Amino acid sequence: MRTRAGAYIAFSQLSLLSFVALCTALHPGFVLKWDEGGLSNYGIHVKTAVPYTLGFALCSFFSFAAARTLPARSYLAKQMRLLLNVYGALVLFSMLSTYGYTLNTPLKLLHVVSGIAIILFGTGASLWMFVRLRSSRSDSVWLAVQVAGFLLALIDFFNVLHVLFLAQLLTGVGFGFLVVHAVRRSGGNFHAPR
């Protein structure tokens, strides 16, 4: 089902992905190395700060727009609106916490907490959406991508391997495809779990 909400959430995810790709092209050394950094590296350098900010700000803006325009015809559609608003707020908070995280330990901790919150929220939301989508094979693939990213985030968190960028990329892409599909379906075909 094509709706304004579906278009907005697609713009949200395309904005984030496109600007992250641009940041990576402008300075691949921040994230494409054995000891990977995370997306936040792009927010604190002059060369990449503008596309980083645009990607996160547009993602947040269009998530809020999707929530506002999503027809709340059912309880589950209302829950989807809440999911989009929380996601938009987490993305905005993560972006804002980027700019000062190198200044001191409390700001760094605040930023780390925002990153953990996005990954945990994305994983929980992806599972929630998957159960309610009467999912197709492609939804199963995107959920597997998201969960693989979550597992890599755990590996990175416990300092086994430094794969933060890959973890962020996989969790974001998996969540992105699921949320676009869920918003498009929630215009009238969103189901309770079986």
pLDDT at 1 over 70: no
Q: Compute the distance between CA of residue 114 and CA of residue 144 in angstroms, rounded to an integer.
A: 23
Q: Compute the distance between CA of residue 188 and CA of residue 1 in angstroms, rounded to an integer.
A: 8
Contact criterion met (CB below 8 Å) for 88 and 64: yes
Q: Which residue from 46, 44, 48 is spatially nearest to 20, judged by alpha carbons? A: 48
Q: For residue 125, what are its two tokens?
A: 């939301």
| Residue entry with tokens 């075909």 | 189
Each residue of 104-118: pLDDT tens digit? 999 999 999 999 999
Query: How would you label 158-179 residue by residue, b for 16+ Cβ within 10 Å and e otherwise?
Result: eeeebbbbbbbbbbbbbbbbbb
Q: What are phi and psi of 71, to 5 degrees?
A: -65, 125
Residue ranges per structural domain of the chain: 4-185
pLDDT at 5 over 80: yes
Which amino acid type is present at position 105?
T
Query: Which of 52-56, 63-67, 135-139, 167-171 is the least confident region?
Result: 135-139
- pTM of the entire predicted model: 0.91
Q: For residue 190, what are its two tokens?
A: 């969103």
Q: Compute the distance between CA of residue 66 and CA of residue 35 in angstroms, rounded to an integer.
A: 36
Q: Compute the distance between CA of residue 85 and CA of residue 28 in angstroms, rounded to an integer.
A: 31
Residue, of 136 and 105, whose pLDDT is higher: 105
State the sign of the Cα–Cα–Cα–Cα dihedral 53, 54, 55, 60. Answer: positive
Q: Which residue from 97, 98, 120 is spatially nearest to 171, judged by alpha carbons? A: 120
